[in-house]
Amino acid sequence: MAKITVDGVVYEVDPANNLLQECLSQGLDLPYFCWHPSLGSVGACRQCAVIQYRDAEDTQGTLVMSCMTPVTDGGIYSLAAEQASDFRADVIESLMTSHPHDCPVCEEGGECHLQDMTQMSGHNYRRFDKQKVTHRNQNLGPFINHEMNRCITCYRCVRFYDDYAGGTDLSAQASHHHTYFGRFEEGTLESEFSGNLVEVCPTGVFTDKPFSAQYTRKWDLQTAPSICNGCSVGCNITPGERYGTLRRVVNRYHNEINGYFLCDRGRFGAHYVNSESRLRSARDASGMSVSTTAIEERISEFTSEAVIGIGSPRASNEANFALRSFVGAENYFSGHSDAEHEALQVLIECLRDAAFHSPSVRQIEQADAILVLGEDVTNTAPRIALALRQSVRNEAKALAETSRIPNWQDAAVRELAQESLSPLAVFACGSTRLDDIATTKLNADQQTLIEASNALSERLAGRSPAYSQQTLGTTMQSVEATYTALMSAKKPLVICGTGAGAALMRCAANIARALSVSRSEVCDLVLLPKEDNSVGHALLTSKENTLSRALGRLANGEVKRAIVIENDLFERAPTALVKNALAAAELLVIDQIETPTQRYAALSIPSATFNECEVTKVNYEGRAQLSFQVGEGCDAAKPIERWLNVEGSAHSNSMIARCAAEASDFESLIDCLPDPLGRIAGLKVPRQSHRYSGRTAMHADRNVHEGKQPVDDNSVMSFSMEGMLTQKDSSVLASAWAPRWNSNQAISKFQAEINGELKQGHPGVHLIKRSLNGQAYEAENSVNKNLGDFEIRLVSHIFGSDTLSSHSPAIQKRLCDAYLALNKEDALELGLANGDFVSLGGAEDSIILPLIVRTQTPSGVALVYTGSSALGASINPHDLPESASLARVESEPSVHPTGLGLSNLVVNDAYSGAH
Amino acid sequence: MQQHVIASSSTNARLRARDLTAEEIAEIEHELTLYPTKQAVGLEALKIVQRHQGWVSDESMLAIADYLSVPVSELEGVATFFNLIFRRPVGDKVILFCDSVSCWIMGCDKVKKRLSEHLGIDYGETSAGGEYTLIPVPCLGDCDKAPVMMVGEKMHRNLSCESIDSLLPLSNAEGSK
Ligand code: SF4
Ligand code: SF4
Ligand code: FES
Ligand code: FES
């Protein structure tokens, strides 16, 4: 700790940081633009000027940029000194010379850092009367608007997009007063993290396009703390609601998980809740609507005989638990595919194992040697891929440390490090979106990946591995390089996921275990499931209760009734199996969206979406988090637990309490509630800002009488402007706001220190206690495949491979058709070129897909993307053979083209050569 | 039914790249031996292509980016940073006319007016026949002989309206590229 004096007041600060950051940590108001808590300092905007004094005698002082000034013990500074504040006012005046006066029509207005800083710096009268520089905007795709005239050239956008997120298609162009931030030419921004530009840009250059179409000012949005349901990372989000519809999603700071950034699936995928695909009313088998009372009666009678309940990884803990108690634990089955279920058993075993630790996203960023095995993280758990892009920079930070350059000196550290990266080994089948930062890439079929993993475990255990003849060269090199990297690292990390399959997950666990043994320490191991509550659902399901057993019992008539919650079984098991089972059963389906499963339902019942109820979910770490209701949405929809009307379901608090009391592993779930009594300091917490406008008039089109506000008995939150200010307790903070800080930068007022925990943070609870000392898994061996056949491997895409987000209209503009990919040589050998149709297996009813050449596909492997069910244009992945012969055919593909073709596909290895 | 299969806009864009000529490739290859990384050659490659083609078209940009495996948007950042990399076609002779302080004191405004009248173009424009392009530059470092302009490698010093009258038309030997 160092002591500094700012304007006569003494503060204790961290000498490792710069002066700006420390001033903000102390709650001081000091304007800035180019500095960002996650991006560090470059000293580009000159907005953060302060006076630094040599010593107590020095009355003159020197002007310094606080973001570029390390704090020194005993340092004396002034923010208020006239030279400093004049300078800041002048800087902003010059930044504003070409800025349009369009706040009233600018979507940033009201939450604009530029507005805040302009006010704070005291520039309130425009003297510049010359012509302003204007720019042409680009169409940047379905997510992001571009309004370049508003740019103040702080360079944050490219520093985030290129430097931080590894994007390649946004750049700073031209120079001085006509600097331009855009693409080489119009077109969709390709980075999976483009949406963060909306929050990173301190002005209205980059704004949220789907939000524009249903725009509402920040202060008019009803918000509540929520959790993304796009994948298993569990990023914290703030959805905003107005007039009963979800308007947008923005980042909600969580220092251990998402920090300041989300991925585009999370940000733009949530709009599925407003989409045409919502199941908006209950209907029977003939499509006739059914009254609420009739449904309730039917449900209450339903257990008069045995009922099979099939749960879901996209339903909450409470919904799954309610179903389990409704049908009885023995009749409650996994809603995961059998393969996923098996993989999740490995995941849960590893979560219980004391040899491993499951690092948070923040901790992943600290890893200095990483092995990613078989998983294309960018497409399955995107926020973690963004974290990995920071971990590889630990080498740069280490270099900087030896050169005594502080880490926050962003430009200097990058300049010093050039291309040096911390080791990242990617062992995968085909190209992944992290290949550009991989220092070791083993690109191979399943057999080789297993062999390499076994070899690596052997090597780590101090034995000499056996390699087969054909893989000896590259495999051995990759294994050796990875071995050295993991062993010499300070914080090694192994990542795998259910996308890679149970076999590779066991391999990953073996590698981590060998590492843990030989280093005599707990090893970081991340195993990623696919969906937001995969872990919660798997914890509630017994290991034996697989989906295929449930389907079997229904098909053979052993049990005649079934309830399926929030699940489309045609994504989970082979079509024939599902059809047989469902056709034989009397089926109730409760879901948020319409799915093909509902064609077999006697009753389809609408359930509440994530923003319409208060529930908990468990992320990949085993961390349970609470997600509050944001607003009222679909009238007919209720949370599943309330439809099932099980004991305790009337209130979410009591449901959570019951789940905690009865479900093993869920004891600490109760701690997710900020206060089980539903009050904080005796008050409810408003979902509406103190500036919320038009409340008395918002429904006047329907009724001139002001309606009663909905009452929320469930929660510490209320549908109101009154109550305890969230500003006082950040455990329930949805939208950061502080006097003079209307933009998202206000978050610094709620952090214990910049980039630190929220003052009253509520990080969620880790459910699983690690106690076991597990054993290594049997070494995996071979894959069965006929000679000449191609191994079929599934690939995921950030847009399309997730059910709910694929129903979002914005995401749908980014989807692409199902495809099969081969490398150039294999395609050539089969006489195939881009755009041809290929049949798998050659039988009459075999699956036919369009071909795309992806150059990195290992030979003998066919990668298949099964398309998006949301467009009704997917094949059931469980209908695919494990291997197949391929042949060119003239007939139509099995999946009707969506009209989107493959033009939206963003991969690193698409072959652009002529046919 | 044949489907058009192209993956991602960057791949799509790559298809529009022109082929670099053998000379261009040879010269770029030479530069590659002089720099530690491929990216570092970006500016030199742009200059090489401009020397051969007169300007740098989108198709050339895509070709260079592909050849050096750098993102084309990054290369665009380099190309547009430098005023003298031409991203639009220019005339056979590019006149770099100094309009900075010393030349201004010495009356370059009048000279520029005369020049514009002769050529029928203003700053940033190319004459109808594609012969001249006129571009302002800040200080050619020849202040003691102001006003000045440069065409190709050749400096024209101590300009006056009269000297403009006698200079024009510029001989073809003064090629600009
Ligand atoms: S576009 Fe926004 S983030 Fe980028 S430089 Fe301009 S103001 Fe800064
Ligand atoms: S990484 Fe996953 S949880 Fe985070 S925003 Fe993206 S989809 Fe949502
Ligand atoms: S914030 Fe310090 S110079 Fe921009
Ligand atoms: S000002 Fe014209 S040459 Fe220097």
Contact A422, A478 (CB under 8 A): no
Of the residues A96, A118, A154, which should be mutated to test ligand 1's pocket, given the most ligand atoms within 8 Å of the CB?
A154
Indicate whether A116 and A256 sit together in one domain: yes
Helix (H, G, I), strand (E, B) or coil at B113: helix
Indicate whether A250 and A119 sit together in one domain: yes
| Residue A740, both tokens | 């003079």
A201 in a structural domain: yes
Helix (H, G, I), strand (E, B) or coil at A509: helix
Minimum distance, in Å, between the CA of residue B151 and any CA atom of chain A: 23
**The domain boundary residue, chosen from A78, A95, A112:** A95
Residue A72: domain span = 2-95
A161 Cα distance to chain centroid: 16
| Chain B residues close to A851, C-beta within 8 Å | 5
B107 CA → ligand 4 middle, Å: 11
pLDDT tops 60 at residue B7: no
Q: Is the CB of A195 under 6 A from ligand 2?
A: no
Q: Where are the alpha helices (DSSP H) in A686-812?
A: 809-812
Q: How far is CA A653 from CA A657, A678, A734, in A?
A: 6, 8, 19
Indicate whether A219 and A150 sit together in one domain: yes
Whether residue A912 and residue B15 make contact (CB cut-off 8 A), yes or no, is yes
Q: What is the pLDDT of residue A632?
A: 87
Q: What is the pLDDT of residue B1?
A: 30
| Chain B residues close to A139, C-beta within 8 Å | none
A302 in a structural domain: no
**The domain boundary residue, chosen from A274, A298, A322:** A274
The residue of chain A nearest to residue B37, with distances taken between CA atoms, is A419
| Residue A133, both tokens | 């520089």
Residue tagged 């208060």 (tokens): A614
**Total number of domains in chain A:** 4
Q: Which stretch of DSSP H or E encloses residue A22? A: helix A19-25
Indicate whether A237 and A114 sit together in one domain: yes
| Residue A146, both tokens | 């571009």
User: Helices A446-460 & A472-488, crossing angle to 10 degrees?
Assistant: 40
A668 in a structural domain: no
In the DSSP assignment, the letter for residue A255 is T
Average pLDDT value over all residues in chain B: 89
A891 touches chain B (CB under 8 A): no
Q: State which residues of chain A have pLDDT below 50.
A: 914-915
Indicate whether A138 and A249 sit together in one domain: yes
Of the residues A19, A23, A28, A35, which should be mutated to test ligand 3's pocket, given the most ligand atoms within 8 Å of the CB?
A35
Q: How far is CA A788 from CA A819, A827, A840, A884, B80, in A?
A: 21, 14, 13, 9, 52
ipTM given for this complex: 0.90
Which one, of A272, A535, A164, A231, lies nearest residue A382 by Cα? A231
Indicate whether A210 and A141 sit together in one domain: yes
CATH fold for domain B93-167:
Glutaredoxin (3.40.30)
CATH code, A835: 2.40.40.20
A84 Cα distance to chain centroid: 41
CATH code, A13: 3.10.20.740
| Chain B residues close to A797, C-beta within 8 Å | none
Indicate whether A195 and A89 sit together in one domain: no
Minimum distance, in Å, between the CA of residue A902 and any CA atom of chain B: 5
B73 → closest Cβ in A184, A905, A910: A184
**The domain boundary residue, chosen from A447, A482, A501:** A501
Contact A336, A535 (CB under 8 A): no
Q: What is the pLDDT of residue B12?
A: 63
**C-beta atoms surrounding A629 within 10 Å:** 26
Whether residue A912 and residue B80 make contact (CB cut-off 8 A), yes or no, is no
A634 in a structural domain: no
Indicate whether A251 and A121 sit together in one domain: yes
User: Helices A82-95 & A113-121, crossing angle to 10 degrees?
Assistant: 140
A670 in a structural domain: no
pLDDT tops 60 at residue B5: no
pLDDT tops 50 at residue B46: yes
Indicate whether A257 and A151 sit together in one domain: yes
Taking the model in full, what pTM does it have? 0.95
Indicate whether A115 and A253 sit together in one domain: yes
Contact A527, A497 (CB under 8 A): yes
Beta bridge partners of A617: A625
A78 in a structural domain: yes
CA distance A677 to A675: 5
CA distance A909 to A888: 22
CA distance A197 to A176: 22
Q: Which of residues 831-850 of A touch B (CB under 8 A)?
A: 834-835, 850
A21 CA → ligand 2 middle, Å: 28
CA distance A200 to A207: 10
Q: Which residues, judged by CB distance below 6 Å to any ligand atom, belong to the binding site of ligand 3?
A: A 20, 32-35, 43-48, 65, 67
A168 touches chain B (CB under 8 A): yes
Q: Which stretch of DSSP H or E encloses residue A492? A: strand A492-497
The residue of chain B nearest to residue A177, with distances taken between CA atoms, is B81
Complete DSSP assignment for A512-581:
HHHHHHHHTS-EEEEEE-SSTTHHHHHHHS-TT--HHHHHHHHHTTS--EEEEES--GGGTS-HHHHHHH
Whether residue B8 and residue A904 make contact (CB cut-off 8 A), yes or no, is yes
Which one, of A39, A546, A597, A161, lies nearest residue A335 by Cα? A546
Whether residue B71 and residue A169 make contact (CB cut-off 8 A), yes or no, is yes
A897 CA → ligand 2 middle, Å: 28
| Chain A residues close to B12, C-beta within 8 Å | 903, 912
A175 → closest Cβ in B13, B72, B81: B81
| Chain B residues close to A907, C-beta within 8 Å | 7-8
Tell me the domain boundaries of chain B: 8-81, 93-167
Helix (H, G, I), strand (E, B) or coil at A235: coil
Indicate whether A68 and A111 sit together in one domain: no
CA distance A864 to A124: 58
Indicate whether A401 and A474 sit together in one domain: yes
